[in-house]
């Protein structure tokens, strides 16, 4: 019994354990970040239905469309002639379309410029010429500053200016200008008659008076008769403010964009510089219900507030605040990524040409932005970005090194002679001239991956 009694005893131990509790706001932020534009809209609708404290501010007035502004300011621009077949053909029609409407279009503006400019340049400036042509918009204007073009292509500014001068001598006259005034002056480069010389002088120094039709002021300034000034005005009116429009707006070197794809991020350039537009839900259009906000404030000021009501109000108000905050955080992250792409991929973003796409990884982007790699992955997963060229591409193109070579092969085959198709060896040599060294078997592998036929089968096809 003594031994048994000695074996019995009491012991007391204190155990401590640490558990990791994930902040619900972090989970919500990660969830909203990985959603694309359509999925985010659906998530918002679900939250609006479940949370009475969250409201969406609806705009009572629809934004004014560009067409309405143009109709009020310059109605003559929208007026079409009765023999404008292309305009009438583009209108919606109830009857079956004519098969002739689907015939291949003519040469595009960019192909037309490429055929004139590239043969006139030395081989060392071909890349610069190609890049500059891609920076021409559908109206014929140069949309990228000449300094940025020189920097993006690694050329001296003097060489870029010389190539631009060669481009501005190409047809259509006026192409390559950066402003309306420069476009008109290029078309009046070699005046022959007195009226044309006067028209050039007016455009150069008195464009505002020309637009305002201040005939008397110009008459006094140049000491000519009013009918001479009117004749000079007519010379200017015969010029084209948009020389590239005669070729249409379709780029033959670009793949047609799928109409069902909606970009989540738009990278564009205007007169103020680069702009990053994040599409979808805007946190500025979300707010907390006024009644819930007021009741939340009143309950917090009470000493003995009803517990159930206070718990209900607090939960939904906090939930609404978290949702709005996470939407704002998503927008900030997407903007950072857009600005990063503009900074590190300016040539590709400007032109949409895969020849200028540089290798990039999510790890490198995350390191430079100071965020986690998983954040970059969620922000770019299954999303699309619209480039300044108008092309919509998936984010994946920035992180797949092989995709650049595949797209360059596709562009080369688009411009080959169908009667004499290029072999894989010839394609490899062309890629090497563009700065990409690959073996013939690598070209064969990428061509098979993109379902492109061999040269022999392309000839027979």
pLDDT score, position 256? 41
Quote the CA–CA distance of 383 and 261 in Å, as a whole number. 9
**pLDDT (tens digit per residue) in 238-274:** 888 888 877 765 454 444 444 467 899 999 888 788 8
pLDDT score, position 335? 93
Do 215 and 245 contact (CB within 8 A), yes or no?
no
pLDDT score, position 253? 41
pLDDT score, position 153? 77
pLDDT at 323 over 70: yes
pLDDT score, position 321? 92
Q: Which of 56, 29, 26 is nearest to 41 (CA)?
A: 56
Mean pLDDT of all residues in 55-72: 60
Share of the chain above pLDDT 70, in %: 75
Residue located via tokens 């031994």:
3
Mean pLDDT of all residues in 96-125: 70
**pLDDT (tens digit per residue) in 149-177:** 887 777 888 888 898 999 888 888 888 88
Mean pLDDT of all residues in 47-62: 79
pLDDT score, position 94? 47
What the block records as the tokens of 18 is 């640490």
| Proportion of the chain in helix, strand, coil states, percent, rounded to 5 | 60, 5, 35
**pLDDT (tens digit per residue) in 175-218:** 888 888 888 888 888 887 888 888 888 888 877 777 777 777 77
Full set of structural domains in the chain with CATH: 109-245 (no CATH), 265-398 (no CATH), 401-460 (1.10.10.60)
Quote the CA–CA distance of 38 and 111 in Å, as a whole number. 37
**pLDDT (tens digit per residue) in 297-317:** 888 888 887 888 888 888 899
Mean pLDDT of all residues in 426-440: 73
């Amino acid at each position: 019994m003594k031994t048994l009694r000695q074996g019995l005893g009491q012991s007391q131990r204190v155990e401590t354990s640490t558990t990791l509790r994930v902040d619900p706001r972090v989970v919500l932020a990660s969830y909203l970040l990985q959603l694309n534009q359509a999925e985010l809209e659906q998530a918002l609708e679900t939250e609006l239905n479940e949370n009475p404290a969250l409201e969406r501010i609806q705009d009572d007035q629809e934004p004014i469309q560009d067409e309405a502004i143009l109709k009020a300011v310059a109605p003559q621009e929208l007026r079409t002639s009765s023999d404008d077949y292309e305009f009438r053909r583009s209108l919606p029609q109830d009857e079956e379309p004519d098969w002739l409407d689907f015939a291949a279009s003519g040469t595009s503006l960019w192909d037309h410029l490429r055929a004139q400019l590239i043969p006139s340049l030395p081989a060392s400036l071909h890349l610069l010429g190609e890049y500059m042509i891609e920076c021409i918009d559908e109206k014929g204007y140069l949309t990228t500053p000449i300094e940025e073009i020189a920097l993006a292509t690694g050329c001296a500014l003097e060489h870029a200016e010389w190539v631009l001068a060669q481009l501005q001598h190409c047809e259509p006259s006026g192409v390559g200008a950066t402003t309306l005034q420069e476009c008109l002056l290029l078309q009046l480069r070699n005046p022959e008659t007195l009226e044309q010389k006067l028209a050039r002088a007016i455009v150069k120094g008195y464009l505002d008076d020309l637009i305002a039709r201040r005939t008397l002021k110009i008459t006094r300034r140049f000491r000519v008769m009013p009918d001479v000034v009117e004749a000079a005005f007519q010379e200017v009116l015969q010029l084209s403010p948009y020389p590239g429009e005669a070729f249409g707006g379709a780029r033959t070197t670009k793949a047609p964009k799928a109409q069902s794809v909606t970009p989540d991020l738009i990278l564009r350039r205007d007169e103020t510089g680069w702009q990053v537009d994040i599409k979808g839900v805007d946190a500025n259009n979300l707010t907390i219900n006024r009644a819930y906000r007021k009741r939340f404030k009143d309950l917090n000021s009470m000493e003995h507030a009803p517990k159930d009501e206070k718990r209900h109000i607090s939960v939904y108000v906090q939930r609404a605040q978290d949702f709005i905050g996470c939407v704002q955080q998503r927008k900030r992250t997407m903007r950072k990524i857009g600005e990063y792409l503009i900074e590190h991929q300016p040539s590709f973003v400007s032109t949409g040409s895969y020849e200028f796409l540089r290798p990039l990884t999510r790890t490198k982007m995350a390191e430079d932005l100071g965020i986690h790699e998983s954040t970059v992955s969620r922000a770019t997963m299954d999303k699309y970005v619209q480039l300044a060229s108008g092309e919509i591409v998936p984010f994946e193109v920035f992180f797949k090194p092989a995709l650049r070579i595949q797209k360059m092969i596709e562009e080369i085959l688009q411009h080959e002679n169908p009667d004499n198709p290029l072999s894989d060896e010839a394609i490899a040599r062309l890629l090497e001239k563009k700065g990409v060294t690959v073996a013939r078997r690598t070209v064969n592998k990428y061509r098979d991956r993109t379902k492109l036929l061999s040269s022999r089968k392309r000839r027979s096809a």
